[in-house]
Each structure stands twice: as C-alpha cells, then as structure tokens.
Amino acid sequence: MPSNLAAIASDVFHWQSEPLALHSFLHCSADRSVDWTVHNTTASVFIMGALVKTGIFVLIVSVCQGYQDIWDYDGHKLKDTDYVSLWPLPQKVQSSAAAFKLSSINFQIVHAKGSSAGSSCSLLQTAFRRYFDYIFGYVKKQSFKKEPKKAFGEEVAELQVLITSSDSECDGYPDLKSDESYELSVDQPSAILKAPKVWGALRGLETFSQLVYEDEYGSRNINKTEVSDFPRFAHRGILLDTSRHYVPLKVILANLEAMAMNKFNVFHWHIVDDQSFPYMSRTFPDLSQQGAYHPYTHVYTPSDVKMVIEFARMRGIRVIPEFDTPGHTQSWGKGQKDLLTPCYSGSTPTGSYGPVNPILNSTYDFMASFFKEISAVFPDAYVHLGGDEVDFTCWKSNPDITKFMQAQGFGTDYSKLESYYIQRLLDIVSTTNKGYMIWQEVFDNGVKLKADTLVHVWMNGAGGYSEELSRVTALGFHTLLSAPWYLDYISYGQDWEKYYKADPQDFKGTEEQKKLVIGGEACLWGEYVDATNLTPRLWPRASAVSERLWSDKNVKDVNDAYIRLGQHRCRMIERGIPAEPLFTGYCRHEYKGNL
C-alpha cells in the first residue's frame, strides 16, 4: 500500500453544501486498512480514535487489498474489495480490513443452536443451498478440482442462522407486516446471522452473499463486518404484465429470483387485460379457453400459478394478482356471455363491446363466484382490483344503460355509474375477507372505500403525483407510488438516475401523512415486452427503485450509487440474470447466453 494514499485521499475529498448530501472519506491507517465512511453533514469523524459518529448511518467498507488489472466504467482501476458493492445499501454497515477466506470444501450455512427454525424448515434449507451456490457457483462452473491458490488470511468456516422469535413463520406466507430486519456479524471461525423471522434471514443471506468477493487468485474472501438492517418501506414491488404478451413461466421465475437479489418483496401480477386472458380459471374455464392467445400454450394453469406463489414465498415475496375491471376487460367477454356492454350506433348494435355491463345482476353473480375462486387460489391478504382508464363511450351509446342512469338519478355523469359498479364490486370482494388495492381513479371518483384500502398512485397529473399523495393521505388512506417508475418508458442514456431520485415521501404533508405511504412499485407494462427483452429491460433499472424503497432516505448520492449499481449489475450477470449495462465497460464474468 503506497504510504501517501492518505494524503491523496485527503486531496480528493471535499465537503458538499447540501444539508442532506452524502460524502465519502478515505482513510488509510497504519495497519493497512482503508475505511469508506458514508455520512451526513452532521457527522463527527474522529479518525485517530477510530470513532465515527453519524446522525443517519455508518458504512465502512475496507478497500485496502491487492490491486488488479480491472477497471470500472470510468476507467479507474478496481481492487478486490471494490466488488463488495452492497445493493440496496443496508441501514448500517461496519467493515474492517481483516479479511477471511471462504472455502467451498469447508464452508457451510447452518441453523444456529437455539434457533426456532431447524432442519425441518424447507424455506431456509433451500435458501442455504441457493446462497451457497451463489457464493461458490462460478468456482464450480470452472470445474476446479481443488480450491484456487490460497492467499493469506484465516477462514470463516460457517454462517450460523439464528431465528430469535418463537414463531419463525417458516411455513407461512409473507405479508404487509412481515418483519424483514436482521443483524449480521462476520468473524472467524463463524459468522452469525440473527433475525426475528425467516423473512429477515432471507434478506441477511443476500447481504452476506454480496459481502463475498473474489481475489486475484480466484479465492472467495469476506471481511470482518457488522450489519444492522431493515427496510424503509414495507411494500417494495415489481409489476409485470402477462396479458399484452404472454410471459413464459421460466421468465417469471427468473425475475422473482432477481427480485430477491434486490430485496423486493411484492410481485404484482397484472395477469389479464384487454388483449388476453391467460389465467386458467377452474370455475370459468372458458375465460382462458376463449380469451387467451392460445388455450393450451399461452395460459397459466392452476399448477403454474401454485408454482409461482410457492417460488415467491420461498424468497419472501408476496404475489398480488390484479384483475382489472370494469375497463381493460375485452378478453373477458370472449369467454363469458353478457359480461360486457353492447355498443350501439343510434338504435342499432355495432357488434362491438365496451366495459363490463354494470346494470345486470348476472354481472355481479359472476364477479362473486370469480373472486371467491381468486381468494382461494392466491393466499395474500390483498387483491388488486384495478379500476383505471374506463372509457364511457360505449356506456353512453347503450339505451338500456341510459334508462338505468335516469332511474338511478345519475343524469349524464357516467363516473357515478362507474362508482356504482366499483362499490358493488368492493362489497363482493369484502365478503372474501380480502383487502383490496385500487388505481387512483377509484379514489378520485369518490367511491366509498374501506379504511384499509390501498390507493395506488400512477398518474402524473397537472400537479404531479405529489399532489395526489397529499390528497390520498390527507383522508387517512394508505398509498403506494408507481408514477415515477414506469419502466416501459425507455430512452437513450442512463434513465435509472431519475428513478433513483424519486421518493415516495416527497410531497407536502404532515409526518403522519407520510407514514401512510407504505412503499411503491416499479411497473413494466407489456406492449413492447415479451420473453426476449423483459429481463434486460427491467434490470438493473428496477434496482434503482429497490434501493430507494429499502435504504435510508438520505442515501441518494448518485455518483456512489453508479459505482455500486454497476458492480451489482455484474453480480446479477454472474448469477445468470441478463441485466443490461449502465454504460460502457465490462464484467469479470460476462453473461454467456442460453445456448
């Protein structure tokens, strides 16, 4: 280590004036350690006493290791530990220069003595195997007959996982109130991961795997580290649209895997829409038989749906289905007679159909049976009911609806008719003991909502999404944000930065109002996306959203994020996720394709 490194670091270090700006400081001590401390401007740093006090959080990442001929996107030479790029950034991390080896021959992940989860917990047992493969997978792919050349340092022989609460929730499903907190202590001979529930253990396993780096000899290393972590928001989701284009099961599962790597915990499955109805209903089989692109090859069977739900559960991810009505339902009408509204030209039917017909009792009988099935198939406490973008043109043309409007006293205000339908639907869903999420138009149109309704904000109106968040929370409703995170909108350049800068609590309101924001979702609508391009379009752009929803609100240094996200993208590549590049550069282990 050059003796003048501390002086060089001092030369490049500068303070920023923003009150919540983050800063980085490099310090090389006599024992060859280098600490990277991220802190806010209120921090007091006592270098000589090795004491760091922060008002927000501390991150100390050792970077004093052997140099390699590897370069980052900006042409700076990377060192071994530069690959320790945690994403999303934990609430608090402290790491020293003491480095330990991990050997695929000796290392194991085990249940700690006294843990409420043991070998019978298949969720953790499966996770142990998965993360062992993540840590040593590339070594195994290279078919090493023996461990790569040994370097200096002692060895971490095991990671002990301790679930501290009496109920580990190993056999349950994650929900909005799941505890995802964890504490991780890395030392030799054993590292300790403590979490109240299995959900926190899953997040801690991901962090542990990200702390492991490869040295120039190909050996796996990890530094002595302490982590204390929990998510900022409880709802951190990805919406995938499987109606505009059918998305094969394999692709859905691969993206659930990528979601776990980024600590997302909600898969919002926009499973059907105007274009196709791929959900195979046991109660109404004609919906997919007639409404799917193909009744056998482009459907999700009951076993497919069950597999998605269980695959997600094993990764601490909830599956929330969306069945959007009364609009976005053209595919429904192909398999369910009289469900949609006949459109007219004058007094003559045109042969086309509009939204769900809200004036027939048969409509509500159908919805009651259908959502009874949905409540049984999907275990999550919530279902998304849509309610957006209802075109009133067909309703206006239909003489029977005109008469109904007059009888109800609605006049010519068709938003009242929409509210009439939505209100009856909400009453139906309430009987299934499900909570519901709705797009913001339902709230905007004054529909009477239950107190536990989740209002999903997706539109950038005249006042922007911040005004909508203010209105929704002012009336006491919980809300989640997607408006700034529509990833189907693409452009040249690094659009991840704008996703990274958006914040769900950036609106005018009291602290109590801001507590009503439960999180957000990144949405990838499917008009121009199918299995060929879904995954690289989603990642790592969605990763920017994951850090915004997990990490401390003051983690917003774009330059620092760029370096970490570039390395995190390479980590996803190594794990088989074809995440697109942020900019020019390369990864140690490039994506090899599927051939």
The closest of 503, 336, 365, 505 to 424, measured between CA atoms, is 365
In whole angstroms, what is the distance from residue 175 CA to residue 190 CA? Answer: 31
The closest of 341, 372, 364, 369 to 354, measured between CA atoms, is 341
Q: How far is CA 498 from CA 236, 331, 457, 484, 556, in A?
A: 18, 35, 18, 8, 11
Q: Are 201 and 229 in contact (CB under 8 A)?
A: no
Q: How far is CA 137 from CA 88, 134, 165, 300, 595, in A?
A: 22, 5, 32, 31, 19
Residues 6+ apart with CB under 8 A from 290: 277, 334, 335
Tell me if residue 389 is catalytic. Answer: yes
- Burial tier of 551 (Cβ tally within 10 Å: 0-12, 13-18, 19+): buried
| Tokens at 166, concatenated | 């009496």
The closest of 58, 59, 8, 66 to 32, measured between CA atoms, is 66
In whole angstroms, what is the distance from residue 136 CA to residue 105 CA? Answer: 10
Q: Which of 158, 180, 226, 389 is catalytic?
A: 389
Helix residue ranges, H only, 213-337: 249-261, 286-291, 302-313, 330-333
The closest of 306, 283, 282, 285 to 295, measured between CA atoms, is 285
In whole angstroms, what is the distance from residue 223 CA to residue 212 CA? Answer: 8
Residues 6+ apart with CB under 8 A from 251: 531, 534, 535
In whole angstroms, what is the distance from residue 515 CA to residue 426 CA? Answer: 25
In whole angstroms, what is the distance from residue 41 CA to residue 305 CA? Answer: 49
Name residue 348's amino acid.
T
Q: Which helix (H) or strand (E) element contains residue 158?
A: strand 158-163
Q: Are 319 and 255 in contact (CB under 8 A)?
A: no
In whole angstroms, what is the distance from residue 12 CA to residue 205 CA? Answer: 35
DSSP 304-347: HHHHHHHHHHTTT-EEEEE---SSS-HHHHTTSTT-EEEEEETT
Token pair 């330990």 in the structure block, residue: 100
Three-class DSSP category at 561:
helix
| Tokens at 327, concatenated | 């609009």
In whole angstroms, what is the distance from residue 355 CA to residue 334 CA? Answer: 13
Cis preceding linkage at 326, omega within 30: yes
Q: Please identify every residue annotated as catalytic.
A: 389
